[in-house]
Structure 1
Amino acid sequence: RWDGPAIWAWKTSGVALLAAWAAANARGRDGWMIAAALGFGALGDWLLDAAGLMQGAAAFAVGHAIAITLYLGNRRAAMTRSQALLVFAVVPLALLVAWGLTRHAEPAQMSAAIGYTAIVALMAATAWASRFPRYRTGIGAMIFLASDLFIFAGEGGALSKDITMWFVWPLYFAGQALIAWGVVATLASETAKR
């Protein structure tokens, strides 16, 4: 396993650059919120390796709370029934999957995984219900959720870590990039029209 500050910095750099890009384009509260959410994601990336799982998860949870607040403040005016069904189904389905993937783990690990999944799934649901483009921000948030479920599949023994290691980071970064692209591009377009 590759380890050490240089590897941690490399793993952190992708989302840190997305956060810097979002901050450079921020022209108001919403722009700064997406920059902060991405910034806490980058901090979480660093802390996962440098300090530990719980510290990294705490930074990610702060980022998700900021993103949830952003998305709730930018709700879509109307949704189709199928869109609304997905919004309401994401959290319970994700919790069920997380439980299934971690049910043989230590009780404390299972509880932490389920609690964290609730936060990530709520972020994904509110992103899908937001006015930001679903095929960027919404799909990106769902991909982010999938990356975390792959982590739990590896940690809980449902899949080999030799398999999950090939999915977690690419899905995570793709999700973060799509989220950033959808929010930043939408806000920049609105600013340009003023």
Structure 2
Amino acid sequence: MKSAFAESRPFLLLSLVFGISYFFVMDSNIPGLYLIAWKGAGVGFLAIYALVRLHRLDGKIVGAIMALGAIGDILLEIDLIAGAASFMVGHLLAILFYSRFRRHKLAFSQKIFAILLVPLSVLIAWALPFDRTQAIGVGVYGLSVAVMAAMAWTSRFSRYQVGAGAILFLVSDLLIFARMGPMETSVIPDLLIWPLYYFGQFMIATGIVRTLRHEMAAESADPVHP
């Protein structure tokens, strides 16, 4: 247990250091390349954490999802479309991943929430930009992140960690779209977008890893049957 904790702690600590500190330096005069690398490091270290803590295919998938997020963080500073594309690929991979871990029983209220989450999120995303030529693209991207959040919410991973983390991710993106419209002069998106996104990713990565490691430990403790 101690060796496992020591093995993972540096990467989570580095993720937190870069992820939290980026919020305070993102508008500073730090040279662009350094700041871009700083931004990508927060979620990038979550990718390494997943790969180190899950020595199986699931770890590689979660690591890839986080890596695509980190690449998206970097590319957004260079080309918005390229960054959005990286995130969309990550969302599609996450959707496929969550589909393998369906929750067998859902309360009626949870089903309704998941069902309504996608169309409402897409409608809000589509309606936000003042430039209506951007509405379709924003709506398509909104669909990918909304489906990802709904799948995370209805998966058998912790709803209060992985599901809630995915919802924070979704809200962060909706605030980005709001900054393209009615909140373009508001400070609220600037204050909330990065914290919601980063801690959403942190909750997703650590929640998935914790659940799967507990399952692996339980499986290894089971007697071997012929």
**Fold in common (TM above 0.5):** yes
Provide the secondary structure at the position in 1 that maps to 2:98.
helix
Q: 1:68 is matched with which residue?
A: 95
Letter paired with 2:131: A
Q: Unaligned regions of 5+ residues in structure 2, if any? A: 1-26, 221-226
Q: 1:187 is matched with which residue?
A: 212
Q: 1:168 is matched with which residue?
A: 193
Query: Equivalents in 2 of 1:151, 1:138: separation in Å?
Result: 20
Give the alignment partner of residue 129 of structure 1, picking from 147, 154, 158.
154
1:88 to 2:88 alignment: no
Q: How many residues align?
A: 191
Give the drift of 1:29: 2.1
Query: Which moved further from structure 2: 91-100 or 52-61?
Result: 91-100
Higher relative contact order (CA 8 A, sep 6+): 1
Give the drift of 1:28: 2.2
Question: Over aligned residues, Cα RMSD in angstroms?
Answer: 1.3
Query: Equivalents in 1 of 2:116, 2:56: separation in Å?
Result: 32
Letter paired with 1:167: L
Deviation digits for residues 92-130 of structure 1 (CA, Å, limit 9, x no counterpart): 01012112312x2141x1111110000000000000110
Instruction: State TM-score, norm by structure 2.
Output: 0.81
Query: Equivalents in 2 of 1:70, 1:176: separation in Å?
Result: 15
Deviation digits for residues 11-61 of structure 1 (CA, Å, limit 9, x no counterpart): 111100111101111222222211110010000001111x31100000101
The share of aligned pairs that are identical, in percent, is 42
Q: 1:105 is matched with which residue?
A: 131
Query: Equivalents in 1 of 2:145, 2:190: separation in Å?
Result: 19
Give the drift of 1:161: 5.1
Q: 1:24 is matched with which residue?
A: 52
1:55 to 2:82 alignment: yes
Is residue 155–residue 161 contact of structure 1 (8 Å, CA) maintained in 2?
A: no
Q: 1:153 is matched with which residue?
A: 178
Query: Equivalents in 2 of 1:68, 1:169: separation in Å?
Result: 22
Q: Unaligned regions of 5+ residues in structure 1, if any? A: none
Q: 1:164 to 1:6 in 2, by over 3 A?
A: same
Moved segments of 4+, more than 4 Å: none
Provide the secondary structure at the position in 1 that maps to 2:128.
helix
Give the drift of 1:159: 4.4
Is residue 127–residue 135 contact of structure 2 (8 Å, CA) maintained in 1?
A: no
